Amino acid sequence: MSETVAKDAKTGMEFLPIDTLCVNTIRTLSMDAVQKANSGHPGAPMGLAPVAYTIFNRQMTYDPADPTWFNRDRFVLSNGHASMLIYSVLHLIGVKPIDGKRPVTLDEIKRFRQLDSATPGHPEYHLTSGVETTTGPLGQGIGNAVGMAIAQKWLAANYAKPGYENLFDHNIYAICGDGCLMEGIASEAASLAGHLQLDNLCLLYDDNSITIDGRTTLAFTEDVGARFAAYHWNVLRVSDGTDLSSVSAAIDSFKKTKGRPTIVIVKGIIGFGAPHKADTEHAHGEPLGDEEIRGAKRSYGWPENESFLIPAGVYEHFQANIGKHGAAAHATWKTKFADYKAKFPELAAQIEQIQGNKLPADWEKSVPVFPADPKGMATRDSSGKVLNAIAKAVPWMVGGSADLAKSNKSKLAFEGAGDFQAASPAGRNVNFGVREHAMGSICNGMALSGLRSFAAGFLIFSDYGRAAIRLASIIEKPVIYVFTHDSIGVGEDGPTHQPIEQIASLRAIPGLIVLRPGDANEVSEAYRIAMLQTHHPVILALSRQAVPTYDRTKYGAVSGVAKGGYIFGDAAGGKPDVILVATGTELMLAVEAYEKLTAEGVKARVVSLPSWELFEMQPQAYRDSVLPPAVTARVCVEMLSAFGWERYAGNTGTIIGMKSFGASAPLKDLMVRFGFSAEIVYQAAKAQLAKK
């Protein structure tokens, strides 16, 4: 005798357990959105739906009514191609719009991957409410999650007081896939996380054995669990990713584990429920097709011709769980924080400033002013002094170097700064080790948690972290990159360590501000500019070799750096016949040539141009006042690639720059070999004047 199955009178659906109903709603929303867009990845969201449901509805402390609540648990989708997973969940839990970010409505899900929708192809932090970081380039989310975990540990160590520990006790959850773990950044970040014993970090690995090209056996056969055990992680396994109880039990185990981050290796089936494309690369990288979707829906007990269906009770179930629990936890936190504020007003004020992306009052008074000195100092040396002064005034400025802190002068050395280690999480110096790529991504995660993060290294190795630098610009977070050894001035280390094309390529990144200061006071001003940014990351390109500290009663006011370029030295009457333009250490070459030309009665002007980006932001009238279009006799000098300088040299101007890689030799010999001297700038200016 056949069993009678109850059905919903409206939809004809079988009455499924509410957990199953919610999981299948995530799956069907995801496949329907991808199908409607005719673009995207349905397989990973279908396979991961039980994991995401368990994290959000059973484990996370999160208030959908305020997705920026300071002590919320964070969720990072490192395999960002599975974006419909997070969009489906954010819609079902009812995340509210905040700070100009848009909510994921059902209409927005129907507009997946369409122009100006809140559901782009990969999650975008600045656009969609509830998205904690922009992901897509695989492995970046793992680095971001490590940065968020560091930030939580640091905040707890510096601000939690007895009885108030739960004000700063959130966890970080991240989902990743095979592709994420193949990327080198994942290894870098995981290694550091294990060293730092970040037991607030739970990484859930979707072990589904599929990439775009096919089975992972084509290229990825390592024992991931053994690898992470070697990193000093707690390794857990869930053999059936559809078993909600097993997934939840693994997360419970994570919460009890001390002294190690946790990876949960979840054996999943990509495209779960799709009858033919399941467990194949096709379910990963392209829409399923109408026939496959109907088959999948039949396997779920779903009306196969319904699209974007959200059955009765699903919204209510999420609201009764994550919504109710999150609201209660948030309300308790606010009450507790009010009590904390009464007892620790200075610390509470700092937390509010961190939350509001503000800086302490009078912080700018800490910025040093350097006396004129013809011998001067390397800009990396003045940078170290300025960085320490500002960081002392801004208690939540935290960062470090990829192993070269002594050389790039990025160590915070004032009393109490300390090193961030497992045993000393209040420290301000993060020792990233030789991990430039992870360093950038981790600093992005720290910035996303409210800290003013900085990353340091040699400019040549910005190549190793370029993807993370680019993402800092996309997420619009003001991470500061302190890059030294900024030209062939590196000298004997040779072409492998001498940056040539790096600045040109960094200038090409939209939203990134590059500053190459020419003396100690330009360094101070560059830091002031960097600290005032709220949406732009900043590169400081700094020298190994000494440059004079200029007398500002004789030369242009250093405040001109804020405009990107300014008149440093001018002709009498302000009407030059020739203009010398320089950045960084080459400013001294232009100044020497200018002084010689002026002594001869030549009407010359020197323009310091430390930031092309800031200069281009100025009104045309200002730019024309600095570089008058009528003055075509121009010499531009920079000990880097000449690429792009045509915009300032014009069609007839002279560009003195690098047209090849450098060489291994003392700096003086390199300057002669590659043609960088005040005399050469002077001769180029005379040649320009001769054309008139």
3-state secondary structure 530-598: HHHCCCCCEEEECCCCEEEECCCCCCCCHHHHHHCCEEEECCHHHCCCEEEEECHHHHHHHHHHHHHHH
* Cα gap 402→455, rounded to integer Å: 8
- Tokens representing residue 364 in the block: 């700018």
Q: Token pair 């997360």 is at which residue?
A: 251
Which of 436, 522, 592, 638 is an active site residue?
436
Q: What angle do CA 85, 87, 89 make, to 5 degrees?
A: 70
* Cα gap 437→421, rounded to integer Å: 20
Helix (H) or strand (E) holding 484: strand 480-484
- Quick count: other Cβ atoms within 10 Å of Cβ 221? 7
Q: Are 153 and 442 in contact, with CB atoms under 8 Å apart?
A: no
Q: Phi and psi (nearest 5°) for 50?
A: -65, -35
Q: Are 36 and 289 in contact, with CB atoms under 8 Å apart?
A: no
* Cα gap 80→176, rounded to integer Å: 9
- Tokens representing residue 660 in the block: 């090849």
* Cα gap 63→75, rounded to integer Å: 12
Short-list 318, 315, 340, CA closest to 327: 318
Q: Token pair 């056949």 is at which residue?
A: 2
**How far from the centroid of its chain's Cα atoms is residue 399's Cα?**
13
The SS3 assignment for 80 reads helix
What is the secondary structure of 305-341 as a DSSP string?
Answer: T--S---TTHHHHHIIIIIHHHHHHHHHHHHHHHHHH
Residue 524 to residues 212, 546, 571, 610, Cα–Cα distance (Å): 48, 16, 27, 13
Q: Is 304 a catalytic residue?
A: no
Short-list 260, 157, 156, CA closest to 203: 260
* Cα gap 316→21, rounded to integer Å: 12
* Cα gap 628→625, rounded to integer Å: 6
* Cα gap 664→667, rounded to integer Å: 9
437, 442, 447, 448 alpha-carbon torsion, rounded to 10°: 110
Residue 22 to residues 31, 34, 86, 323, Cα–Cα distance (Å): 15, 19, 14, 15
What residues are annotated to the active site? Answer: 436
